[in-house]
Structure 1
Amino acid sequence: MTTTSQPAETPAAERTVRLGIIGAGTQGSSYARFIAEGMVPHMTLTAIADTDPAQLAAAAEKHPGAATFSTHQELLASGLVDAVVTTIPHYQHPEVAIAAIEAGVATLVEKPAAVHTTQVKRMNAVAEAHPEVPFAIMFNQRNNPLYQQIKAIVDGGEIGEILRSNWIITTWWRPQGYYEQSAWRATWGGEGGGVLVNQAPHQLDLWQWICGVPQKVFAKAGFGFRRDIAVEDEVTALVDYGDGRTGTFTTCTHDLDGTDRLEILGTQGKIVVEGSKKATVKRYARPEKQISDESTPESARQLMSGNSAGLEGVVSTEVIEDTSAWGAQHSGVLENFALTVLGEAELLAPGTDGIHGVRLANAIHLSAWTGREVPIDFDESEYLAELNKRIEAEGVYPTQS
């Protein structure tokens, strides 16, 4: 376990973790503000690193108490931090995380963990070789009380065994001007993908966190479908869990009035989540198959004619709503991370869990590129070959290995 600068006898309530932020862009600046505003009680900002002099100067002006560095190596060698968070381009997450973990510095990586599974596996192997160093990932939606309750309901068997799940998450509308803000954005070599890599990683994580990891994936994707970009802006994926269960995942960046709807059908109930804010949970008094087997021709005729009297008392309904404020989920993950470093909590989102979302995104890409169903444990060399074809076609960025 990483140790902090305070004496061990200091009361837990008074101890804080010294954090270094690597990457002073939009996300890193948000985390610095959360800490400055007291939203993360057990964390203090002591260092910031960024390779962009202008961004570093702006961060120094806003947070004069934090030391500044032009590289992550300098920050890690400074002795000023107990922990770091990496808010940098996706491809760089593993390199910086590995350096931090090997330096004995607790590490929180932004989502996604990386762009491809080969990178993530290297990072996870280092983390597993250093179990004394806390390693987390910023899956802030796991800190959403609504999804925590839904996971508890599913794990507790309250809706029986899952039969099917469907997630439509199209609330990512991005105009063409968004993609033209930076040359690296929406490129294979610079960002590593489109909506699956940039906007939807939280849902890819939550879907598997709640419903389990599938075995196979078949996907259709549009690359530059409604935007002048190289990467995917439209995706529909069908997953197979290998035991009769299925799921679908639909996402895009061109729906001006998007939808966020998760539906989970079980053998003894159903959950529908709207807007990640409100869930309607229906529980059946008996398994649906038993209700069906107990029906008679007469009761079936009544149901078909709209008379549901025979089902009175069979279905109960609960509505759950999330009222948490914006930023509370992110700051909550930071606080959980700090408490873990202090030995007072367990990680809400262990960093090694980042493999799941990256692997599913890679499988969706590979299926869409090849036109065939692929296993979730796909051939990584084939994926990298397909990715590198696209990076080489861009002619700007180095290929991946």
Structure 2
Amino acid sequence: MTGLSVVIAGSGVIARTHADAILRHPALRIAALADPDPRANEDLATWIAEQGAPAPELFGSLGEALGAVAADLVAICTPSGSHADLAAEALAAGAHVLVEKPLDASLPAARRIADVAARAEAAGQLCAVVCQHRFDPASVAVATRVRNGDFGRLTSAVASVPWWRGQQYYDSAGWRGTWEQDGGGATMNQGVHTVDLLLWLLGDPEEVFAYTGVLAHDGIEVEDVAVATVRFASGALAVLHATTAAYPSLGVRLQVHGSQGSAVIHDDQLEYLHVAGGPDSSAYAHEADQSADAVPSSELRGAVKPDDAFVIGHLRQYQDTVDAITAGRRPGVTAADALLDVAVVKAVYLSAHLHRPVRIRAVLDGEFDDVLVELEKTATAAALVPARATR
């Protein structure tokens, strides 16, 4: 057996995607699965065997797996509220870690694991967080031009995650739609990837003002609709929209605008890109789309996406993880990056709760931790009343 040995903590739905990506990577092999649900372990192990891979060892907990298996990398695929504790356990055992988004459901827990990860990094260990859309060719093409200054001064962005999740989605698992394990609703669970891209492209966020609501689902503690404005340190302004109440679901759309260029990423494909050769003083501009020059035709808007596009996205991040381990460099998405994502999402919830703008620095520094506890208790109690009865 060769390659880096991987232990997958959590054998639920997202673990299948991770297992698929790992099996496709020549430098990785699945050594063990760790889940307290024996049926989940057995089902995933059976699927792995059906792919022609060696059967992994099965354990009821990550601790048991780490005590029996020499793990090079641990993939955390459990409910969000357990991410930080399990990541810390894996790092303490000497393994590298890749955490499925978000870093954790709890901001204090996310803050703690970011600190642990920073110390581990100094000792040569890696703690990466899944934000696979940073590695999409369309995202890379836009980010490259932003970093090169081709957009001029970044001025604004519009991000929309108009998805649908039926009531059955929230009813399918007791942790879904809860503060303790989900950490939030449409913004945290579905929208955090787009939040990450916003921050990656526009830089440091300074302040958020938001509204949230529960408009299409019953018995959940978290929002199914959120809208927010984000002000960045550069002065750029962004609009964020995330929902699981947009039937029947449309593609995620991200527009980025600057004084010398604009880009549109739609459903992970590049829909539009144009950058000027320099400042344009004309009153109006009507410039041709340069998308075809920026990405392969398979990554342009309208191209047929492969059925396994989601797995391919994770595979790209696994490639970055392997490269970072091999080269001894930082991964493309660090725990510190993911902490900022969580802080912005929590700022959305705080702003909606307090009915005022919220500064990101204050959220990161823990000034609102008590308010977050109050917010979550209030939302938990409100979830006992069916949403339709409150409208």
- Residue 103 of structure 2 aligns to a residue whose secondary structure is coil
Letter in 1 for 2:319: E
Letter in 1 for 2:252: D
Counterpart CA distance in 2 for 1:351 and 1:209 is 14
Q: Once the 2 structures are TM-superposed, how far is the Cα of residue 391 of structure 1 from its aligned partner?
A: 6.6
- Normalised by the length of structure 2, the TM-score is 0.85
8 Å Cα contact 2:105-2:180 kept in structure 1: no
CA deviation digits over 1:311-369, x for unaligned, max 9? Answer: 6xx73530245636412110121132123323376522223311121011000000011
8 Å Cα contact 1:362-1:383 kept in structure 2: no
Residue 318 (structure 1) aligned to one of 290, 296, 313:
290
Matched, 1:139 2:124: no
Instruction: Show the 5 A alignment for 1:277-316.
Output: 277-288=269-280, 290-292=281-283, 315-316=287-288
Q: Once the 2 structures are TM-superposed, how far is the Cα of residue 380 of structure 1 from its aligned partner?
A: 3.0
8 Å Cα contact 1:86-1:97 kept in structure 2: yes
Counterpart CA distance in 2 for 1:59 and 1:177 is 23
Letter in 2 for 1:27: I
Counterpart CA distance in 2 for 1:95 and 1:83 is 16
Matched, 1:276 2:268: yes
8 Å Cα contact 2:79-2:175 kept in structure 1: no
8 Å Cα contact 1:236-1:248 kept in structure 2: yes
**Structure 2 residue runs without a partner (length 5+):** 300-305, 385-391
Counterpart CA distance in 2 for 1:238 and 1:394 is 26
CA deviation digits over 1:244-303, x for unaligned, max 9? Answer: 321110111121242432222211122122222123112234424x334xxxxxxxxxx7
Instruction: Show the 5 A alignment for 1:94-173.
Output: 94-131=84-121, 132-170=124-162, 172-173=163-164
Letter in 1 for 2:8: I
- Residue 108 of structure 1 aligns to a residue whose secondary structure is strand
8 Å Cα contact 1:116-1:362 kept in structure 2: no
Counterpart CA distance in 2 for 1:153 and 1:114 is 31
User: RMSD of aligned C-alpha atoms?
Assistant: 2.3
In structure 2, relative to structure 1, the CA distance for the partners of 1:203 and 1:105 (3 Å cut) is same
Counterpart CA distance in 2 for 1:351 and 1:242 is 21
Structure 1 runs (4+) greater than 6 angstroms displaced: none
In structure 2, relative to structure 1, the CA distance for the partners of 1:105 and 1:286 (3 Å cut) is closer
Q: Once the 2 structures are TM-superposed, how far is the Cα of residue 147 of structure 1 from its aligned partner?
A: 0.1
In structure 2, relative to structure 1, the CA distance for the partners of 1:341 and 1:78 (3 Å cut) is farther
1:382 corresponds in structure 2 to 370
Residue 78 (structure 1) aligned to one of 68, 73, 76:
68
Q: Once the 2 structures are TM-superposed, how far is the Cα of residue 24 of structure 1 from its aligned partner?
A: 0.7
- Residue 181 of structure 2 aligns to a residue whose secondary structure is coil
In structure 2, relative to structure 1, the CA distance for the partners of 1:177 and 1:65 (3 Å cut) is closer
Q: Which moved more, 1:383-392 or 1:17-26?
A: 383-392
1:69 corresponds in structure 2 to 59
**Structure 1 residue runs without a partner (length 5+):** 1-5, 7-14, 293-302, 304-310, 397-401
1:50 corresponds in structure 2 to 35
Residue 221 (structure 2) aligned to one of 230, 236, 251:
230
Residue 252 (structure 2) aligned to one of 260, 264, 272:
260
Q: Once the 2 structures are TM-superposed, how far is the Cα of residue 140 of structure 1 from its aligned partner?
A: 0.9
Letter in 1 for 2:352: A
Q: Once the 2 structures are TM-superposed, how far is the Cα of residue 183 of structure 1 from its aligned partner?
A: 2.4
CA deviation digits over 1:39-59, x for unaligned, max 9? Answer: 111101111100111112223
Instruction: Show the 5 A alignment for 1:174-189.
Output: 174-189=165-180
In structure 2, relative to structure 1, the CA distance for the partners of 1:30 and 1:265 (3 Å cut) is closer
Looking at secondary structure, tell me which structure has more helix per residue. 2
Q: Once the 2 structures are TM-superposed, how far is the Cα of residue 97 of structure 1 from its aligned partner?
A: 0.4
In structure 2, relative to structure 1, the CA distance for the partners of 1:338 and 1:109 (3 Å cut) is same
Counterpart CA distance in 2 for 1:232 and 1:277 is 28
2:338 corresponds in structure 1 to 354
Q: Identity over the aligned pairs, expressed in percent?
A: 26
Q: Which moved more, 1:371-380 or 1:83-92?
A: 371-380
